[in-house]
Chain A
Amino acid sequence: SQQGEEDPQALSIQEGENATMNCSYKTSINNLQWYRQNSGRGLVHLILIRSNEREKHSGRLRVTLDTSKKSSSLLITASRAADTASYFCATAPLSGGYNKLIFGAGTRLAVHP
């Protein structure tokens, strides 16, 4: 079963707008990661934020983590049509995890030119 929920399930925006996706999880984590998937292909790693970090940036991506609320958000600024994809958060459990990731259900993002 999945770790938690992602919100919204689908998001449709215009090029140049910002896109915000939220993720909630259930158990204590070592880190939280965000991945992108284009149309049924493999996943691409976007960013990793550790449990002792609150915010992280990578290019047009900004990720926040609130461990007290067990939630994270991914912000994509100045969206482009090429950002159209599904976005997944994945948590690395604090115990018994090794390289096991628990994925959320994902947010389908559509960016219109």
Chain B
Amino acid sequence: KAGVTQTPRYLIKTRGQQVTLSCSPISGHRSVSWYQQTPGQGLQFLFEYFSETQRNKGNFPGRFSGRQFSNSRSEMNVSTLELGDSALYLCASSLEQINNEQFFGPGTRLTVL
């Protein structure tokens, strides 16, 4: 099976812009989670989607949003970008059961100038 894919791999934006990141899970995986990784805060959970519904959300401002499509592909959007949003954004997919191992994509490296 193909692994989790994320596009784009690298992105440069300026403050105030918005950005959309895409994630395609492993075939058959219906749960998609998003994480932000920064040197200062480490790996932090953003949100998780299952069957097009957000089941869980981390402690991030409303500028961070996401959605999941009927084919389980997911997108996350960050509006009004701030310098502190520069990070590696990782997507992970897992089987529908809760608390399973997660399979991570290579990440999208976002730089905000």
Interface residues of A (CB under 8 A from B): 1-2, 30-31, 33, 35, 40-45, 48, 88, 90, 92, 96-106
Contact = CB atoms under 8 A, between A and B. Distances in A.
Contacts of B103: 45
B33 A99 contact: yes
B43 A103 contact: yes
A105 B45 CA distance: 13
B100 interface: yes
Interface in B14-59: 31, 33, 35, 41-45, 48, 50, 55-56, 58-59
B79 interface: no
B12 interface: no
Contacts of B90: 42-43
Contacts of B44: 1-2, 103
B2 interface: no
3 closest A-B pairs by CB = A103-B43, A92-B99, A42-B104
Nearest to A50: B99
17 contacts: A2-B42, A43-B102, A44-B104, A45-B104, A48-B101, A90-B43, A92-B99, A96-B56, A98-B99, A99-B56, A99-B100, A100-B33, A100-B56, A101-B102, A103-B35, A103-B44, A105-B42
Interface residues of B, number: 30
B111 to A, nearest CB: 13
A42 B94 contact: no
Contact of B101 (A42, A45, A103): A45
A105 B88 CA distance: 15
Interface string B74-113: 0000000000000010101010001111111111010000
Contacts of A45: 101-104
Nearest to B91: A42
A96 B107 CA distance: 25
B99 A97 contact: yes
Given A41-B107, A42-B105, A100 B43 contact: no
